Amino acid sequence: MSTAPKNLKLESLCIHGGQSPEPITGAVMPPVFQTSTYAQPGVARHTGYEYSRTQNPTREKLEAAVASLEGATDGVAFGSGSAATAAIQHLLDAGDTVVCGDDVYGGTYRQFTKVFSRQGLNYEFVDFTRVAPEDAIGEGTKLVWLESPTNPLLKVSDIRALAARAHAVGAIVAVDNTFASPFFQQPLSMGADLVVHSTTKYINGHSDVVGGILATRDADLAARLRFIQNSIGAVPGVWDCWLTLRGIKTLAVRMQRHQENATKVVDWLIAQPGVTRVWYPMHPSHPQYELARSQMTGFGGMVSFEIDGDLAAAERFCEATRVFTLAESLGGVESLIELPAAMTHASIPPDVRREIGIADGLVRVSVGIEHVDDLIADLGQALKVALG
């Protein structure tokens, strides 16, 4: 069977990366191995597969595909992005210190402060856009966790500088690359040790799967994470793996359309008197615009903005859209809208949200691939409902 040549462009890797036709039948798409166990020809002698929590051919194809997109040697898949996040925390010991960006997904903040802090891990939250790496990452730090761009304020961190400082003190660097996707950013090439994805989002792209994955070039880290994957058992089901593999095939064309639509939506939002501020990393108005351009080749459909009103006005706005669906999550082909203070980041205490900059009027949209005129018209009529 043919295998993909080396040095393919990302558009081609989305179709062929980590995959080849199934060797027995020639099936172009990897089959779904819907099995829990595998027959063994003798006691403790198997073909490389013994139990599907440990190994499954469909899951392995997904892991290889995402690894190829991130320029990694290994991918380790999990049942959700949160499970992938937790697996990294399991690399640590009680008493270890984690330095984390101050603006992260609410579920990540909850996991760190309500679960793993009770197991003896110490979390320090730092604004990486304001504090120099040497001041943010102290001696003895074991893990540096960052989202870039962040959720929901879309801050861009200097991955190269943070990775250099982290490695100088012996820390591992994990970058949540969910918002940018491997199509627009590859953190491993900038010094990160691990890349984290909620495959629920852009990698799958169709709002019908929950999953997560880690990618790395470090063989030791990969082996330790596979041990955790098998021991904890938070693995994705094979149908979720298969659906995600199918979604990856169109990642390139989807991300290009997401970006095209988002750019036009951002230009429109900036011109609206009812909108006080807009965040989009690839727009010149973004405070880390030049850094974003140096780290990313583009950006997808994530846009955050504040409307000129209180929480009630923001709620009216979100509830008035008709093309944008009011829902959590992101990265699907359909456009979604949500209110972080009351939804995705409600688990963060209000005083902490205010300190970070998550205002009650902050709205986050995931711009889909519909016709952009319909999206802009929908936001326009919602603004009239919200602000009169």
* Residue 320: half-sphere exposure toward Cβ, Cα within 13 Å: 19
Judge whether 360 counts as a catalytic residue.
no
Coil/strand/helix, residue 101: strand
Q: Can you give the C-alpha Rg of the chain in angstroms? A: 21
Judge whether 353 counts as a catalytic residue.
no
Please tell me which residue in 102, 158, 176, 360 is annotated as part of the active site: 176
- In the 8-state DSSP scheme, what is residue 11? H
Tokens standing for residue 32: 């779904």
| Separation between Cα atoms, residue 41 and residue 75, nearest integer Å | 29
Give Cα separations from 4 to 13, 17, 384 (angstroms): 8, 7, 52
The whole-number mean pLDDT for each consecutive block of 10 residues of the chain, a chain of 388 residues, reads 73 94 91 96 92 97 98 98 98 98 95 98 97 98 98 97 98 98 98 98 98 98 98 98 98 98 98 97 97 98 95 96 97 97 87 88 96 98 94
Judge whether 51 counts as a catalytic residue.
no
In the chain, what is the straight-line distance between the N-terminal and C-terminal CA atoms, in Å? 63
Ordered structural domains, the chain, with CATH: 10-248 (3.40.640.10), 252-387 (3.90.1150.10)
Tokens standing for residue 190: 């900038």
| DSSP letters for 105-156 | -HHHHHIIIIIGGGGT-EEEEE-TTTS-HHHHS-TTEEEEEEESS-TTT---
285: amino acid identity, one letter: S
Please give the pLDDT value at position 4.
66
Please give the pLDDT value at position 347.
83
Please give the pLDDT value at position 3.
60
Please tell me which residue in 61, 105, 193, 353 is annotated as part of the active site: 105
Q: What is the pTM of this model?
A: 0.95
Give Cα separations from 104 to 61, 147, 227 (angstroms): 29, 6, 27
- Is the separation of the CB atoms in 114 and 106 below 8 Å? no
Name residue 302's beta-bridge partners: 366
Please give the pLDDT value at position 341.
87
Judge whether 384 counts as a catalytic residue.
no
Please tell me which residue in 61, 201, 254, 364 is annotated as part of the active site: 201
Please tell me which residue in 38, 49, 53, 316 is annotated as part of the active site: 53
| Separation between Cα atoms, residue 383 and residue 324, nearest integer Å | 13
